[in-house]
Amino acid sequence: MRFLNKFFTACLFSVFFLTGNYATSQIPIYNEEEVLKLAGDAKAIVLNRSEKVRISFNKGKPLIYVTYVEHILFLNEGSAAGQEFEIPYSDKFFPLKYISANTFIKTDNGYKKIGTKPATHTSKVKDGLFYDDMKQATVVLPAVEKYSITELKYEHQVLDPMFVFPFYFKPITTLPLVKSIFRIEYDEGFDIKLKLFGDTTALVKSSDTKGKVKWTEMVMKNSRSGKEYDNEPGSAYFKPHIFYLIQSYSDKSSKTEILGTTDQLYKQNYSYIKNLNDEVCSKELSAVADSIKKTVDIKDSLQIIEDILYWIQGHIRYIAIEDGLSGYVPRPSNAVFDRRYGDCKDMASLMQYMLKACKIQSNLAWIGTRDIPYSYADLPINSSSNHMILAKKMQGKWHFYDPTAEGLKSDLPSSFIQGKEAMISIDENNYEIIKVPEIDKSINYRRDSVQAKMSVDGGLELKGKLSFGGLYRWRIVSFYTSLNDQKKKELVESLIKHNYDKAKVINYEISNLTDNNAPFQISYNIIMPDFANKIDKEFYFNPHFRKPIMNEKISNERKNIPVEYSYKNTEIFHLKMELPNNYKASSLPLNVNYNSELIRFDRIFSESGNHFEMNSILEVNTLFLKDNDFEQWNRGVGAINKSFKESIVVKPQ
């Protein structure tokens, strides 16, 4: 996302396609019966995937090679020939030293090797990015058929030990795996730290020293095909993976510190911003800052911050740009202002620059979005951050501003950074690591207030007002504004038709689309023909037009894979129903009050004459559910579902 950490991304790409076995070009010996048993119904099985990291000295500096090998046994009838495999690399940071791919076809006498054509090399631009110095080598596998084995091998050189990326033992959950190995070998003099993340219970470690070379190996064996689930967080939360950190190296008399502490990480991060915006503010940029300043009381710094934030969001388009180190270094603000586009760090630094022009001091901050589970203390390297925001301390409390979050109220952090640590730059030697607050459930709301009138044939005429606040507003507005007119209409209609296919929209009106400080509202009139079922002379219908979290029960099979929600939220539904003359709700469901740490649900009915009202409120008070939350969560969902399933019968008086 945002400020892309190319190495982390490279790693994810690589693990999807390839791995390595530092053994040479020979297919692994395997027990066919056992492998087929492990594969079950799978169409392919990874016989082995492995990565070997070799760190040695070259003229007193670290020399790092990372070698990958992967062998996959294909078990399906259909040919997989022509399948492409992609290996990412960067000439500036981790050049590809060699690549080789082969197919081994099973014959009566063993295996026949068929090599691929040479790899093709192209630049890689991911969706949403403008420029990127990443490249990829592509090889096409020939002659793949049932019981053939594909082999992929390649080697990267890591030019800068500051940039390391992880090895995932089993990146594709659904593909069974016989063996996955990570091995690191390093010369005496290197201080290496291995950091394991995800569910590491299946890993077996061994290590030793041979001569002046130390080695450590981590092995995962016999892993069956797994299942993928809804609302999985980033795979780094649960898939086993390992980082190697070169903390320091000593050569003869000197010791060089590289990685391992947050101080070292900050020192490196600060080097990217220390010469930022040394030039004089351009006339045009000053003019905009002045015009903002003039419209508000100069003492009202909060208002100036908000105005500048909204100005940037409205005038600078977010476009991720990566080109070598510029993936880390913000561009000069005058240039960003002039070009009217930039990535997260460009937008954050422009905001800081414009605030400075208004005599307001603020601080740049690095942060990892919620796809990344690492804290800075756990993993004090670049891979822990992939985004930049602006921080401002007021009355002893830090406030966080994300200029990329267009449409979001200024005092709210975006959903993908809440609860995450920000590394705030104070000056060359000082920084603070502060957690961005999680936004309270009451701020992120959806409120639907409906007045309904039932006709004698069971149809409803509805007049409603639907409002969205906080991150709920942001999500809907961001999506809405990205659509063309036809899709916008479809989106609004889907929101106001209450999931009733037969509903017909009479009209609707949208308000506060551009006012970030006000709820996004849709006032609407619809009709819902045949909504109430007429059985004999009575009408039956369910008053819960919308049943949020009804389908959010967590499967009992789900183990060690958390559930992630974008934000805590509140759903409020108010229904005021007018029944046909001489009709009355014969028995209203009971009021409900369910309360737990994770979910709360309240429902109150009242009635008068041929009218009744229902007020319901549902609060989801969690961003993340772990195994030990599942039972409590399911209990709550079950209880609420029961209430959602209570219908009303309306009878003639």
Partner 1 sequence: MKKLIFPILLLFPFISSFSQLTYNPFDYDFSEKIETIDGKIAADNEEAVYIFNKSMIWYGLLPNTEYNIRAVIIHKLVYLNSEKSIDDNNKIYISNSSSDSLHVFKVRIIDNGKIVREFGKSDLKESKESQDSKLRMLAVEGLKKGQMLERLTIELQRFNDNGSVTLEDNYSSLSRYVSVACPSHLKFTSKSYGITQELKDTLEEYSNFRYLYADFGKVLPFESEEYAFKNTRSARVEFTLSQNFSSGTKLNSWANKGRGLMESLVNTEKSEKKFIDKLVLKQNWSKLNGKEQLYEIETYMKSNINISEEYPYISNVEKLFSQKYADVYSVLRIYIMIFQSLDIKWQLAVTVPRTKKLFDQNFPSSAYITIPLFYLTDLKSFMDPSDYEYRGGDISYTYEGQKAMFVKPMLIGEGISGVTRIDSIPDRHRSLSVRNIDIKVNWDEDMNSIIQTHYIGTGHGIDSRKLIYTLNDKDKANEFTEESVRDDKKEGDFKIIEVNHYDLNKYSEYVQPIEMKYQWTTEEFSESVGNNILFKYGLLIGRQVELYKEKERKYPIDNYFPHDHKVILEINIPEGYKAKGFEGKNKHLEYKDSSGNELFGIDIQVNEKDGKIILEIFEYYARSVYPPSEFEHFREVINAAADVNVYTLLLEKK
Chain residues that interact with partner 1, rule: CB under 8 A: 40-43, 76-82, 84, 86, 114, 122-127, 130-131, 136, 140, 142-146, 174, 225, 227, 317, 319, 339-341, 481-486, 501-502, 504, 530, 533, 535-536, 540, 542, 550-553, 587, 641, 645-649
What is the smallest separation between the CB atom of 79 and partner 1, expressed in angstroms? 5
Whether residue 67 contacts residue 52, with contact meaning beta carbons closer than 8 Å, is answered with: yes
Q: Is 520 exposed, middle or buried (0-12, 13-18, 19+ CB in 10 A)?
A: buried
What is the smallest separation between the CB atom of 230 and partner 1, expressed in angstroms? 9
Q: Which residues pair with 443 in a beta bridge?
A: none
What is the smallest separation between the CB atom of 412 and partner 1, expressed in angstroms? 22
Residues 169, 376: Cα–Cα separation, whole Å: 23
What is the smallest separation between the CB atom of 100 and partner 1, expressed in angstroms? 18
**Residue 306 CB contacts under 8 Å (≥ 6 apart), including other chains:** 410, 411
Nearer to partner 1, 60 or 78 (CB): 78
Return the H-helix or E-strand segment holding 472.
helix 470-481
Nearer to partner 1, 77 or 108 (CB): 77
Whether residue 488 contacts residue 462, with contact meaning beta carbons closer than 8 Å, is answered with: no
Q: Is 522 exposed, middle or buried (0-12, 13-18, 19+ CB in 10 A)?
A: buried
The count of residues in the chain is 653
Nearer to partner 1, 122 or 606 (CB): 122
| Helical spans, DSSP H, in 250-385 | 262-273, 283-295, 301-315, 333-339, 344-357
Whether residue 229 contacts residue 558, with contact meaning beta carbons closer than 8 Å, is answered with: yes
Residues 123, 59: Cα–Cα separation, whole Å: 32
Q: What is the CA radius of gyration of the chain?
A: 29
Nearer to partner 1, 53 or 614 (CB): 614
Nearer to partner 1, 264 or 634 (CB): 634
Nearer to partner 1, 62 or 142 (CB): 142
Whether residue 363 contacts residue 424, with contact meaning beta carbons closer than 8 Å, is answered with: yes
Whether residue 652 contacts residue 585, with contact meaning beta carbons closer than 8 Å, is answered with: no
What is the smallest separation between the CB atom of 132 and partner 1, expressed in angstroms? 8
Amino acid symbol at 217: E
Judged by DSSP in three states, 534 sits in: strand
| Helical spans, DSSP H, in 178-248 | none
Judged by DSSP in three states, 471 sits in: helix
Residues 131, 116: Cα–Cα separation, whole Å: 30
Amino acid symbol at 105: I
What is the smallest separation between the CB atom of 457 and partner 1, expressed in angstroms? 13
For residue 303, give the nearest of 389, 410, 439, 412 by alpha carbon.
410
- Both tokens of 305, joined, read 């911050």
Amino acid symbol at 386: N
Nearer to partner 1, 276 or 319 (CB): 319
Q: CA dihedral defined by 136, 140, 145, 149, rounded to 10 degrees? A: -50
Q: What is the DSSP string of 595-622?
A: E-SSEEEEEEEEEETTEEEEEEEEEE--
Whether residue 306 contacts residue 331, with contact meaning beta carbons closer than 8 Å, is answered with: no
Nearer to partner 1, 105 or 196 (CB): 105
**Residue 397 CB contacts under 8 Å (≥ 6 apart), including other chains:** none
Q: Is 502 exposed, middle or buried (0-12, 13-18, 19+ CB in 10 A)?
A: exposed
Residues 164, 98: Cα–Cα separation, whole Å: 19
Q: How many CA atoms lie within 13 A of 579 on its CB side?
A: 24
With b for 16 or more beta-carbon neighbours within 10 A and e for fewer, the 102-128 pattern comes to: bbbbbeeeebeeeebeebeeeebeeee
Residues 279, 101: Cα–Cα separation, whole Å: 51
